[in-house]
Amino acid sequence: DSGVTQTPKHLITATGQRVTLRCSPRSGDLSVYWYQQSLDQGLQFLIQYYNGEERAKGNILERFSAQQFPDLHSELNLSSLELGDSALYFCANSLAGGLGEQYFGPGTRLTVT
Amino acid sequence: EDQVTQSPEALRLQEGESSSLNCSYTVSGLRGLFWYRQDPGKGPEFLFTLYSAGEEKEKERLKATLTKKESFLHITAPKPEDSATYLCAVQASSSNTGKLIFGQGTTLQVKP
């Protein structure tokens, strides 16, 4: 158990809808990363927040956004969902904002029908 | 462009049959290389971090090594419970953030 929690575990929704995924960090970890894992793309970095501020963006669509709150939990918002957005979404935490291992949560499986 | 390639894509071993997984990387500057284990439907579980060529790390039946172009994950006398997908990832100097660039993974099946 990494100590990182994600809710919900599963989410089924329709195209065009909006969902929010939640990540609660390990105690003391200031950085949160969001990754998307699909069968054809593997694990892809989406976005990083460090102590409430956006630090880096990866292949994140404009329909997706994230934030990190003062208590360091984070949310990933996905809107105008398309079938291709179906994937596993993971958050990961690390103590610092740069070099070092990341600890992953159990993921949220999103299915868009 | 920073890139990570893992081989083979899939590997079937008999229990006790040792082997190695390969991770080749092309990055502007390697800051760190990471190995993770992922079970189906679960989040990646951290195994090792390697920072410089020549470095080695061991944990139970697993040993990770690093050269300037690749890393190997050696599995000695594997057991069925070692069956999983093993992921390699790098942090590159081209980014001053901690984002991980992952390979596609090697799916290992160990038969009793």
| Successive 10-residue mean pLDDT values, chain B, 112 residues | 94 98 93 96 96 96 96 98 97 82 97 96
Chain A with chain B: Cβ pairs closer than 8 A = 71
CA-based nearest distance B90→chain A, Å: 10
Q: Does B101 touch chain A (CB under 8 A)?
A: yes
Q: Does B102 touch chain A (CB under 8 A)?
A: yes
Contacts of B99 in chain A (CB under 8 A): 33, 45, 48, 56, 58
Rg (CA), chain A: 13
Collapse the DSSP code of B52 into the 3-class scheme (helix H, G, I; strand E, B; otherwise coil) and give the result.
coil
CA-based nearest distance A17→chain B, Å: 24
The residues in B 10-29 lying below 8 A from A, measured between CB atoms, are none
Strand positions, DSSP E, chain B: 3-7, 10-14, 19-26, 30-38, 45-50, 56-59, 62-66, 70-75, 84-92, 101-102, 106-111
Segment A39-96, tens digit of pLDDT: 888 899 999 999 999 999 998 999 999 999 999 999 999 999 999 999 999 999 988 7
Contacts of A56 in chain B (CB under 8 A): 95, 97, 99
**Is the per-residue pLDDT at A97 higher than 70?**
no
Given the DSSP bridges, would you call strands B62-66 and B56-59 parallel, antiparallel or unpaired?
Answer: antiparallel
**pLDDT at position B94, please?**
73
| Residue B22 β-bridge partners | B7, B72
